[in-house]
Amino acid sequence: MPAATAAPGPHTPHSHHAAHSSRIPFTAATVTATDDGSYHLVWKAPGVRSVTIWANGHVVARGGARGGVTVKGLRAVDRQWFDFVPERGDSLRLADRLIKLDGTVNFRDAGGYRTADGHWVKMGKIYRSDALNKLTAADGAKLERLGIRVAYDLRTESERSSAPDVVPSGVTYRVADVLAGSDFLSTPPTSAEAATQAMVDAEKFMVSGDTARTAYTSVFDGITDDDRHGLLYHCTAGKDRTGWSSAALLTALGVPRKTVTDDYLASNTYRAKANADVLAALPPEQAKIYKPILDVRTEYLNAGFTEVEETYGSSDAYLNKGLGIDARELRALKNDLLVD
């Protein structure tokens, strides 16, 4: 493991390449913030001899084609960005995916993933979250500084009225009620199996239900607008309705299914404490029934993708016929959200 090293002074990070067509050589790269204020960086860049990591205009680490470093001592900022600069090829700009706020547990960047053809989804453009009803004034100020401009609320009317969003000033609030036309959980399940089936059925509705298609069309219209940066979509837990929104977006951008699934399942990690607290407050039998509703599971997401195949035939057909995104708009979406 190469050690983190500080540079003597600020510089501008850049990559070394002979032509604009040079591609990003990284096949994997992540930034993970730790509780002590340090950052763990991991990368793979096959065929590259050296990689230099920059932050705040300084070199903070160096390594070879693959590496893992812990960077310490950086000043506190809203969001710490790192530039992974290879000795040849294009550089990659990443931050920790999670946005830490007092009032949320699952607010994260939708980007930072590699596509099957070697592009990367830009970070700092599209965000996903759980409900915003507990945002503090400090949270709101942070979101303003991060450039959040529009928030799509995917929740039902009863969810919105019982826990209304605290929308920061300068952020446009839009309702995109995914489940308005469904009877999801109108009858509480009486077994874990029934709860699991309800989650599978809800996932299918998110694909082919009329109100779901209308809601996701609205979200994708926002993403494909000219002013598409700083967009947020969220539901209550930030895992199911929000999870499908991200799964559909990442799939449209060409991110492999395994990566899409990993992003979806990450809600189990980010929500682990919150979910455990809910279950601990319930009688054991009730907790057993309720757990499938708090979870995200591969079978739920797969039910959505199966519904896409059975109803539309392909993901592109779902985008076109289900959400009204034609080939030209899909190209524009990729041009805007993928690193060249």
- C-alpha 108/C-alpha 319 separation (Å) is 24
Q: How far is CA 262 from the centre of its chain?
A: 11
Contact 39, 80 (CB under 8 A): yes
Query: What pLDDT score was predicted for residue 225?
Result: 83
Long-range (24+ apart) CB contacts under 8 A made by 126-129 are 126/223, 126/231, 126/232, 126/249, 126/337, 127/99, 127/230, 127/231, 127/232, 127/233, 128/232, 128/233, 128/234, 128/238, 128/242, 128/245, 128/246, 129/104, 129/232, 129/233, 129/234, 129/238, 129/242
Query: What pLDDT score was predicted for residue 9?
Result: 38
Query: What pLDDT score was predicted for residue 181?
Result: 84
* Domains of the chain as residue ranges with CATH: 1-96 (2.60.40), 97-339 (3.90.190.10)
Sign of CA dihedral 227, 231, 235, 240: positive
For residue 255, CA distances in Å to 111, 164, 177 come to 10, 33, 26
Question: Strand 81-86 to strand 51-55: parallel, antiparallel, or no bridges (unpaired)?
Answer: antiparallel
Helix residue ranges, H only, the chain: 137-146, 157-162, 192-208, 210-224, 241-252, 257-270, 272-280, 284-294, 298-312, 315-317, 327-337
Query: What pLDDT score was predicted for residue 7?
Result: 37
pLDDT tens, position by position, for the chain (340 residues)? 333 333 333 444 654 443 334 599 999 999 999 999 999 999 999 999 999 999 999 999 999 999 999 999 999 999 999 999 999 999 999 999 999 999 999 999 999 999 999 999 999 999 999 999 999 999 999 999 999 999 999 999 999 999 999 999 889 999 999 999 898 888 999 999 999 999 999 999 999 999 999 999 999 999 988 565 799 999 999 999 999 999 999 999 999 999 999 999 999 999 999 999 999 999 999 999 999 999 999 999 999 999 999 999 999 999 999 999 999 999 999 999 999 7
Q: 59 pairs with which residues across the strands? A: 54
Three-state DSSP at 272 gives helix
- C-alpha 128/C-alpha 81 separation (Å) is 19
Query: What pLDDT score was predicted for residue 297?
Result: 98
Q: 95 pairs with which residues across the strands? A: 81
- C-alpha 47/C-alpha 66 separation (Å) is 10
Contact 120, 95 (CB under 8 A): no
The identity of residue 27, as a single letter, is T
Q: Is 279 exposed, middle or buried (0-12, 13-18, 19+ CB in 10 A)?
A: middle
Residue recorded with tokens 């996903």: 128
Q: Which of 147, 103, 153 is nearest to 128 (CA)?
A: 153
Q: What is the phi/psi pair of residue 122, to 5°?
A: -60, 145
